[in-house]
Amino acid sequence: MPVSAPPGPRSRATRALYLIPLLALLATGCASASGAEPGADPTAAIPLPGPDDGSSDEGSPGTADGGDGAHEPVGDGPLHDRVVVIDPGHNGGNAEASSEINRLVPAGPQQKACDTVGAETGSGYPEHLFNWELSLLVKERLEADGATVILTREDDEGVGPCINERAEIGNEADADAALSIHADGGPETGRGFHVIVPGEVEGYTEEIVEPSRELAEDLRREYREGTDIPYADYLAQDGLDERTDLGGLNMSTVPKVFLEAGNMRNPEDAALLEDPQWQERAANSIARALAVYLLRE
């Protein structure tokens, strides 16, 4: 069942709310959803928030799920009628549950393992924790502008859920967009981020290929502009990678992409991924990308 982060303290002290200028976007229309003036290039990135953006270190993540499966808007902001599913990849208990996460589950035309353990940096910072922390930051920003945000797991101590179950959470919520947040475990010499998009799989992804590609392009643009991480130089092409073998995409009936936020095994990327201030910037960029996509829809 869909779950959301419970209120309470997080391990990162820095928090920021109301950083996305969505009211201005709504006033000027989707043609200027990138923050540009009317008539300007609609693909230009929204300027990053400045030091006087109203950031605060107070507050805690909200709860989007009322507990009975009905997802009520959490505010009256410009995203008040939008539902977003954020999937923090992996989970903190996976390493101790090999039999459970290795069992085969539906992944489209084939079956794949329920889940995996994930990568980690050279200093031992695990991907599952990075995914969780960044997901909470993105959730805060979207909820600050009224969106209903559903997380696919409720903490970073559990196991799973399986890849098909993560997709089903978005399907059952009839989400307007779904994003799975990860960090790659590529070669140490390679660096950069990439966005994974669903390819066409007959009987599964035909309806989501086009909108997912639009979401991916918004995410690629805003993330590149808002962080110091380049496009991956060891796989994908210009930051986009089309896949037909991922159950999290194949089993989704709503627009969905994966973000590989950087390469945890590359020292340059790892230094950023471990930095709480950089995580704030990354969350700003991800939330802006989702907002641009959602307001266009």
Q: Which CA distances in Å does 158 have to 136, 139, 155?
A: 16, 19, 7
Residues whose CB is less than 8 angstroms from the CB of residue 177 and which lie 6 or more positions away in sequence, other chains included: 82, 84, 85, 215, 254, 255, 256, 290, 293, 294
Ramachandran region of residue 69, left (φ > 0), alpha (ψ -120 to 50) or beta?
left
State the pairing for strand pair 256-263/194-198: antiparallel
Measuring CA to CA, which residue among 248, 85, 249 is closest to residue 175? Answer: 85
Q: Active-site residues: which are they?
A: 260
3 state SS of 105 = strand
Looking at this protein, which amino acid is placed at residue 129? Answer: L
Looking at this protein, which amino acid is placed at residue 137? Answer: L
Measuring CA to CA, which residue among 270, 286, 291 is closest to residue 225? Answer: 286
Measuring CA to CA, which residue among 92, 100, 139 is closest to residue 117? Answer: 92
* Rounded distance between C-alpha atoms, residue 148 and residue 64, angstroms: 5
| Residue 39, token pair as written in the block | 């008539």
